[in-house]
Amino acid sequence: MRLEFGEIKIKDIQFSEISKIENGVLFINKKDIENLVMEDEKIKSLKLEIAKPGDSTRITPVKDVIEPRVKVSGNGGIFPGILSKVDTVGEGRTHALKNMGVVTCGKIVGFQEGIIDMSGVGAEYTPFSKLNNLCLVIEPIEGLKQYDYEYSARMAGLKTAEFIGKLGKEITPDEIITYETKPIFEQAKEYPNLPKVGYVYMLQTQGLLHDTYVYGVDGKKIIPTFLYPTEIMDGAIISGNCVSACDKNTTYHHLNNPIIKSLYAKHGKEINFMGVIITNENVFLADKMRSSDMTAKLCEYFGFDGVVISQEGFGNPDTDLIMNCKKVELKNIKTVIVTDEYAGRDGSSQSLADADKLADAVVSGGNANELILLPPMDKIIGMVSYTDKIAGGFDGSLREDGSILAEIQVITGATNELGFNKLTAKSF
């Protein structure tokens, strides 16, 4: 598949009478978004806010971040199986609004939601502090079950991102980048002297608000399968989970997966990037064994020489990670795993819940248990009343002056296991 990717750089967001993009500025008519979102009877109210890099602003509790995109040519539309028909995407031309995000937040759904600070020390830990953010503060109707609320909030964000993305359909991009992966046997022949490298993309699918969707299908229901990398860039995978904020993959992360981009950057030079195998993270042992067996079998079938494996979450998914690593290695395929650590606040505890001697090449996204003091902010988008309850917080985290003492796992994207962050760890 060959995808032309047009990047439209957004320099600023402003509220206006007309929704449009002009000279790099996104103008938004609030009514356009409100009318779209408030079609859902489960949403009581919506408040739109803008947060810009450097603002003394705290956004919380954050549920998802989405980058607006639009299909200009080729099959399907953005977020297939959710907002568009279930057509295979990943080819043709897509425009993306860069340097901005749609952020959904509001009353807490599950305790594993996060914080984005737009300035101060906390801003250094999240990539979303560098974006111009349109924030949707969503208030559910009384008595709404948390699963229904999560769905409504998720759809509100996706529909808003789709609406904004369409504003860029006729805009001339600032840059066009082309990505291409050919059918597996053609791809193997193209660079016969380079190592054939694949990517095993583990998706959070444990249920109880730990969900990810592939072409609209709950990831718990899939078996490991092959995707072209460009399908993922085109919105085939979206987040629907409330795992710890520090290492959850938001929809923005899926759309901008840095492992995929890094492998493409080395494609044809150091490696032959063959494609992506997606697999799930299961709860029961039998399901873990089935998925890891099939993942290893696919890696062998496609003739990979090396594989990068990334996970999402921690604890129970560590078992899936190590199973995948071990079984792929036993096929004589070299692996590198990408994870993060929960090693205690002093860093001396066991980093992962599972381990194996074959997992000898590890990239760490940092220690999520490290304590951080977030300074008070002048403006709160959402509400801070849940600070003590979210993962990484504790009784007394929120102080009287508005500062927050908590583990960095409260910060959205702080230890992201795709490497979309600044933290790591080194062994000496």
Tokens 């304590």 correspond to 371
The CA distance from 410 to 1, in Å, is 38
Strand order in 196-204's β-sheet? 225-227, 272-281, 196-204, 306-310, 334-341, 362-367
Tokens 């090396």 belong to 306
Distances (CA, A) of 66 to 78, 89, 135, 154, 202: 12, 18, 10, 10, 20
What are 178's two structure tokens? 């082309």
How many whole angstroms from its chain centre is CA 26?
23
C-beta neighbour count of 307 within 10 angstroms: 26
Query: In this structure, are strands 92-98 and 132-140 parallel, antiparallel, or unpaired?
Result: unpaired
Residues 6+ apart with CB under 8 A from 363: 336, 337, 338, 339, 419, 424
Which residues have a Cβ under 8 Å from the Cβ of 26 and sit 6 or more positions away?
A: 10, 12, 13, 14, 97, 100, 132, 134, 164, 167
Residue 391, SS3?
strand
Report cis status (omega within 30 of 0) of the bond before 61. yes
- Which residues are the active-site residues? 242
Burial 209-248 (b: 16+ CB within 10 A, else e): bbbbbbbeeebbebebeebbbbbbbbbbbbbbbbbbbbbb
Buried b (16+ CB within 10 A) or exposed e, 148-163: ebbbbbbbbbbbbbbb
Beta bridge partners of 51: 133
Distance CA 68, CA 122 (A): 25
Please state, in angstroms and rounded to a whole number, the distance separating the CA atoms of residues 410 and 242. Answer: 12
Secondary structure class of 286 (helix, strand, coil): helix
